[in-house]
């Protein structure tokens, strides 16, 4: 499989290619006529990738190319975390419903035993 990428030179892309077997080759191509920055990535594998019982996900064994305008994976994770942070907090509507469901219950263990979500 071959992928060619071109992008505006004003965009600072971070490109990370896995260093495991089978290898993904990458090369910087001559800039395009429109001054775009160009790359080519190539990957070929005719055999299944052997695994053992240690991999947790495909990212542990599968070759990959990561292309991003975000400078690092850590910064990318922080952006995802910030985006999800507000979604983790109960809305006013959920708080009101929880207050209604548990009205009159003052002992936390009683509340958890008497509230059914099934």
Domain of 61, in residue numbers = 1-46+54-69
Please state whether 76 falls in left (phi above 0), alpha (psi between -120 and 50) or beta: alpha
Please state, in angstroms and rounded to a whole number, the distance separating the CA atoms of residues 65 and 27: 13
- What token pair was written down for 2? 């071959």
Taking 70 as the pLDDT cut, the residues of the chain under it are 59, 108-118
| pTM of the entire predicted model | 0.54
Number of structural domains found in the chain: 2
63 & 84 share domain: no
As a whole-number percent, the residues of the chain with pLDDT over 90 amount to 25
32 & 85 share domain: no
Residue 112: per-residue pLDDT: 58
Residue 97: per-residue pLDDT: 92
Residue 35: per-residue pLDDT: 93
């Amino acid at each position: 499989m071959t992928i060619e990428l071109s992008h505006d030179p004003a965009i600072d892309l971070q490109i990370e290619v896995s260093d495991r077997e089978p290898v993904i080759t990458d090369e910087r191509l001559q800039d395009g006529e429109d001054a775009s920055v160009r790359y080519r990535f190539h990957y070929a594998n005719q055999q299944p990738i052997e695994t053992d019982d240690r991999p947790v996900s495909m990212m542990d064994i599968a070759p990959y190319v990561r292309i991003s305008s975000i400078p690092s994976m850590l910064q990318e994770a922080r952006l995802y975390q910030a985006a999800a942070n507000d979604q983790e907090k109960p809305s006013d509507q959920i708080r009101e419903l929880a207050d209604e469901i548990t009205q009159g219950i003052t002992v936390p263990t009683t509340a958890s035993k008497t509230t059914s979500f099934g």
